[in-house]
Amino acid sequence: MRRLLIVLSLGLMVPAAASALAATPGHPVPIAVEELIAKRAALESYTPARMLIGFKYEHWQYVPGELRVWFANRVHVEVKFNVTPLLASSCAVGKQKTFQLAGNKVYWSQVTDPTVEYVQEAWRCVKHPSGRVMRLSVVSRTPPTKLADVGLGTVAASGRLIR
């Protein structure tokens, strides 16, 4: 009887785990789009490896020195992933919080100025193979009471160079 219960409970757990994995996007930016970004954005060719649940890739834009990739959920809440060369003397400039996420130090700040394009931002810095330090940031107009600061931080922590 005990073996039967164990087998039944394992049988119920496997489909639940499989459906949870199916719901987790493995590649937030389509591979074809990443190939276009890599051709156009040289130093800035980074994309997130993880995205917030329910958010899907929308579009991207490259202007010399900055890559922008937009994601949105079904109620049109936007999150933008930005890549720029680090211009400040330190990556931590402007931080209000620091997180250690997926082995990466991630900084976060919130802005209350209504003229600014975002309300909260999470970022980290990485050294490009060229030696240049790049700033990977994730911004949203949604306040942290509705979109967790750690959620944005997780996306920033997952930023990776397109190869």
Does the pTM exceed 0.85?
no
Q: What is the pLDDT of residue 15?
A: 35
Residue 19 lies in a domain: no
Residue 20 lies in a domain: no
Cα distance from N-terminal residue to C-terminal residue, the chain:
53
Q: What is the pLDDT of residue 7?
A: 37
Taking the alpha carbons of 24, 72, 140, 148 in that order, is the dihedral positive or negative?
negative
Find the CATH number of the domain harbouring 80. 2.60.120
What is the rounded distance in angstroms from the CA atom of residue 136 to the CA atom of residue 134?
6
CA angle 22, 23, 29 (to 5 degrees): 95
Residue 70 lies in a domain: yes
pLDDT in tens for each of the 163 residues of the chain?
A: 444 333 333 343 333 332 222 233 468 999 999 999 999 998 899 999 999 999 999 999 999 999 999 999 999 999 999 999 999 899 999 999 999 999 999 999 998 777 777 799 999 999 999 999 999 999 999 988 899 999 999 999 999 999 8
Task: Quote the domain boundaries for residue 49.
Answer: 26-161
Residue 142 lies in a domain: yes
Residue 94 lies in a domain: yes
What is the rounded distance in angstroms from the CA atom of residue 143 to the CA atom of residue 120?
7
Q: What is the pLDDT of residue 26?
A: 64
Residue 16 lies in a domain: no
Residue 85 lies in a domain: yes
Q: What is the pLDDT of residue 1?
A: 46
Domain count, the chain: 1
